[in-house]
Structure 1
Amino acid sequence: MVKTEELSPEQVYSMNETGLNIKILPEKTFLGSHEQSASGFKKNKERITVAVCSNAAGTHKIPLFVIGKSAKPRAFKNLNPSSLPVYYKSQKSAWMNSDLLKEWFNLEFVPRVKKHLKSVNLPIKAVLVLDNAPTHPHDCDVDVIRLVYLPPNVTSLVQPMDQGVIESRKLVSEILQHSESEDKGLLDVIKKINIKDVIYMLATVLISRNAFFNVY
């Protein structure tokens, strides 16, 4: 087993996921500059799961892992999912599960980590820190790239990706900018936003700050 004390921050990674309701506004009201009031509307519960992953040095950020409900969303018409700026997979409830995480680990995480470590002349050894969620498998270690699990009930305290890393405020700001630039009401923009739009917004607004992702 890889000993974490032998690894540099370049070799220690953390990953965590969050659910994102892509058409539900925050509880506080936002208005476009040309709107006098916000009319009510029925909440759309369309959601995706977004997983973020980076090394502790902040020098290597793995592309976002996005899970939607449909393998071929209508918004992906004439689009090859492999051309998206994220790693996209589908699951009927849009939640993470063990099979999806294993696939991401083997096909996306491991190859990218090996390539990065080689580029910075470091040994091909790394750990990926995960919380103890039931959907996080314990049987997908590869060679010297291992999974390390946090103890139960401490995720909010010590999981790096939970320390102000995963937020949605910047995404809301991006939607507001679209509303103003297109001279449309915020609700009109929200109604027309699809999963493809959200994916590109997320890829745009996730900017590095210090070691990890920041979406403020």
Structure 2
Amino acid sequence: MTADATRLRTLLHGDTPVTWVLTGDSITHGLVHTHGARNYVDHLHELIRGDMSRIQDVIINTAISGWRIVQLLDDFERRVATWRPHVVTLMIGTNDCSTTGALGTIEPAEFAASVTDFVARVRALGAIPVLQTQPAIDVRNAPERSRITEFAQAIRDVATAEDVILIDQFARFAEMGAGHVNDIPWGLLGDPFHPNAAGHALLALEVAGALKLAPLPERDRVLPALRALVHAAR
């Protein structure tokens, strides 16, 4: 258990209202590909402020579709600092690994350096950083993102080097796709690289498990519903 995980447990067992900032790219932004259903941030909102009865907590989604880590760093004040967060989660890299786009091609080492900078800035605010790898994708139909495995590994490497809480969404999505055609988790994707409603349910389950967001059994409504949604998509 990292020191950050211990701090998070203390926060969640205390009475201080927690401000959560979840940021990243289109996957966290959570538009279009859920077709009106909840994205994973919405699910976490219900879990934390509903099932866990942390009614004074605030969950803020500042992700922007199409963004890369350098854009987040350039806009760090608005995306993160201005909200005075206690916990900041970052899921980024699906655009960073692309070999197309106005920002050009970046290498995994450059990406890792920027993520390390992001972690340092979050900690300078006194907040707890949480890193998420990107979900696995359908590379055959998104060849420009064929380097995504390297960028997922970069996130893992930063988490290890900086002793950061890690939620390995890539590994979980890859596991769910194992044995399917081309090992793609078809039922969890709305297109080659955006999770659909079931995919967002799985993202929420992984965050809840990694951060031990466990509501009391008699109030546990959200997690079974999410598990059922994911199971139906398999």
Task: Name whichever structure is richer in strand by fraction.
Answer: 1
**For the superposition of Structure 1 and Structure 2, which TM-score range results when normalised by the shorter chain?**
0.3 to 0.5
Task: Name whichever structure is richer in helix by fraction.
Answer: 2
Q: TM-score, normalised by structure 1?
A: 0.36
